[in-house]
Structure 1
Amino acid sequence: MTIGLLGFQTTIAAPVTLSGIGVHSGSPVSITFQPAEAGTGILFSRTLADGSVVEYRAVSSNVGNTDLCTVLGTSLSRSIATIEHVMAALYALGLDNVVVEVEGAEMPIMDGSSFTFIDAIEQVGIVNLGVKRRYIRVLKPVRIDSGASWAEFLPYDGTRFEVEIDFDSPLIGRQSWKGDLSAGVFREELSRARTFGFMRDVERLWAAGFALGSSLENSVVISDDDTVVNVEGLRYKDEFVRHKTLDAVGDLALAGAQFIGCYRSYRGGHKLNANALKALLSDRTAYEVVEAPARSQRVRAREFVAVNVPEFAPWVG
């Protein structure tokens, strides 16, 4: 598998603003993607009600709650929630350096997928910054188990996802998606897959302060008789597992660097994705930091060379 953009860091060509509502808060929110210099990483910047600003690098060590979405920060009044769909879009497009300015407590849910973010970014374009990008290459299997669920990283010559779900619902049942990730694959096969939920869970979630902004405009809703409530139906026959794969892409983007390897999961979710990533990054023998060789042509992932950068810790906030 070839790695695009010759292994150089990128950013967006111009600012782009999107507005919507938070799926959990139900409140209006606006975000602006701002271009950033090489080495910035993905930085979320939230303006609080008092005018002060709190910032988080989008890295594993800054992840707080992962119950129903992925959250940066541990303080409810200062955190930034539901970042996974934005992170999936940025990662799939190969964006390394972007400042995400946030007016609100979470990302706008838009239509429940990553498509709006992909579309907005592609309209303004992507800039090659001419500075080498470093990757995390998986060297050995790393696996975690949680009850009937499990996730693992495996060495692989490229970036691959193999995600399987198994729901006690005839409508969903057991589904899997497997594929090598690229911007084109993500755009065509994953980006439009929406978040989903069951009607039977709505009152419980509302009582807990979640899903207050959820609607048929941003979620696939499954009725008590196990049918899709949305009039337009599903966008893909297996939209459910495709959305879970989209979530996994966004959650693993919190490595703070593109990774070379295969990620597999069974009955996973945000918490399992986060814990699997932490397990990988906590074992320094399980990965190495690499970059593309100094050649002008496209190269295969196996040709990337290790770099001696002991200070390189992209998962540190």
Structure 2
Amino acid sequence: MKFSRQTTLRSRVTLTGVGVHSGAPVTLVLGPADTNSGFVFIRTGLDGPDREVRAAASAVTATAFATVLGDRDGAVVSTAEHVLAALRGMGIDNATIEVDGPEIPIMDGSAAPFVAAIDRAGIVQQSAPRRYIEVLKPVQVEFGQSFGELRPYAAGFRAEVEIDFAHPMIGRQAFNLDLDPDSFRRDIARARTFGCMKDVAKLWGAGYALGASFDNSVVFDDDRLLSTEGLRYADECARHKVLDVIGDLALAGLPLVGLYRSVRGGHKLNHAVLTALMADRHAWRVVEAELEPARRVRTAAEVVGGILGGGIVAPAFAPDVS
């Protein structure tokens, strides 16, 4: 394994935007966290005390329109997947995510604004070795025509995603990615959420997507693209699904070493596959990287993102991470 220490943000950084479903203004603050903390959401702006929830598969309370995290008292924060994708994609291990509303701000519909915020904050290596969840055997889930699986893959984390929409501007697309900060920044971070105008209108009528607009979504009507910016990639829809995969699988609690493949997937399927993996205690183990001398990393672009190479992979402890 490439020698690697855990990382966190060097300083706090603030973003403002609106919630995609509520349309209400929201402020988000990304901040440093101690080693072995993972990603912790802190809901502020409540009548009572702040509420905290760790980004874990067991904290998911809904996956219908976005990934929603909560606890026994109910939901804490919605639409968590884009900021989680940015943190995991840029090689962050530990961070706090403070938000003063029920949703993460949608920003431009992609993870790029969160990557820019991480760049502003900077990244610092910590004293503890990075830990990973290594997939040891295949785990599969099927929902009708949707299929997802995690399987062993010694070279790090790889996503292979296929989508198939009955729309002439989308159709069948596929995108494969071996994850590291450079590939995430270049190939995935700018891919925006997407939808069809007729579906958006239905969501509006049901009280959802009140903050959705041409500024934060790729929108199609029956046979054409309505967004004035156009597409950022020819296969932007498939790339955004990869972004969602990275964010949803960040709920493993540690970086995954394995290959994730999905066909006609979404948040529900991503969560189901991750839950199936964690439920099978013979399908994974936690491993630690051997340490190299600590060094400070000034910008996200300098981070070495925990890719497996040669060397020894040492089991750290029994699989007890949710």
Q: 2:249 aligns with which of 249, 252, 266?
A: 252
d(CA) in 2 for partners of 1:194 and 1:115? 9
Question: What RMSD over aligned residues (CA atoms) do the two structures have, in Å?
Answer: 1.9
2:130 matches 1:133: yes
1:234 maps onto 2:207 in alignment: no
The equivalent residue for 2:196 is: 198
Partner of 1:153: 150
Structure 1 residue 257 displacement after superposition: 0.1
* Partner residue, 1:174: 172
Pairing 1:62–2:62 present:
no
Are 1:313 and 2:320 an aligned pair? Answer: yes
Q: Which residue of 2 aligns with 1:162?
A: 160
C-alpha distance after superposition, 1:108-161 (max 9, x if no partner): 000000000001111221000020111011111111111000000111121101
Task: Quote the residue 1:93 is aligned against.
Answer: 90
Map 1:1-317 onto structure 2 (within 5 A).
3=2, 6-73=3-70, 78-157=75-154, 158-224=156-222, 226-294=223-291, 300-301=308-309, 303-310=311-318, 313-315=320-322
Kindly state the Cα deviation for residue 262 of structure 1 after the two structures are TM-superposed.
0.5
Q: Percent identity?
A: 50
Shift in CA distance, 141/78, structure 1 to aligned 2, threshold 3 Å: closer
Q: Deviations over 1:27-62 (max 9, x none)?
A: 000010111111211000002431421110000000
| 1:52-84 CA-partner distances (Å, limit 9, x unpaired) | 211100000001100010000167964200000
Contact 1:197–1:220, Cα closer than 8 Å, also in 2:
yes
Range 57-66 or range 291-300, more displaced: 291-300
Normalised TM-score (structure 1): 0.93
Q: Note the C-alpha offset of 1:210.
A: 1.3
Aligned-partner residue type, residue 317 of structure 2: V
SS of 2:317's partner is coil
Q: State the distance in 2 between where 1:90 and 1:49 align.
A: 25
| Cα pair distance change 1:32/1:272, threshold 3 Å | same
Q: Work out the number of aligned pairs and report it.
A: 310
Please give the alpha-carbon distance, in whole angstroms, between the structure 1 residues aligned to 2:125 and 2:46. Answer: 36
Q: Distance in 1 between the 2:275 and 2:234 partners?
A: 32
Structure 1 residues 308 and 16, CA gap change in structure 2 (3 angstroms): closer
Residues 11, 31 of structure 2: 8 Å contact kept = yes
- Look up the SS of the partner of 2:285 in the other structure: strand
Q: How far 1:294 sits from its partner (Å)?
A: 4.4
Looking at structure 1, the residues matched to 16 and 131 of structure 2 have their Cα atoms a distance apart, in angstroms, of 32
The worse-fitting range, judged by mean Cα deviation, of 45-54 and 228-237 is: 45-54
Structure 1's unaligned 5+ residue stretches are none
SS at match of 2:187: helix
Pick which of 263-272 and 207-216 moved more. Answer: 207-216
In the alignment, the residues of structure 2 paired with residue 264 and residue 40 of structure 1 have an alpha-carbon distance, to the nearest angstrom, of: 28
TM-score normalised by the chain length of structure 2: 0.92
Deviations 1:155-206 (A, max 9, x none): 1121101000000111111100012111000100000000011111123212
The 8 Å contact of residues 219 and 227 in structure 2, kept in 1 or not, is answered as yes
Q: Unaligned 5+ residue runs, structure 2?
A: 295-303
Q: Given that residues 134 and 257 in structure 1 are in contact (C-alpha distance below 8 angstroms), is that contact kept between their aligned partners in structure 2?
A: yes
- Secondary structure of 1:246's aligned partner: helix
Cα separation, 1, equivalents of 2:308 and 2:28: 35
8 A contact 2:53–2:71 mirrored in 1? no
Conservation of the 8 A alpha-carbon contact between 2:22 and 2:210: yes
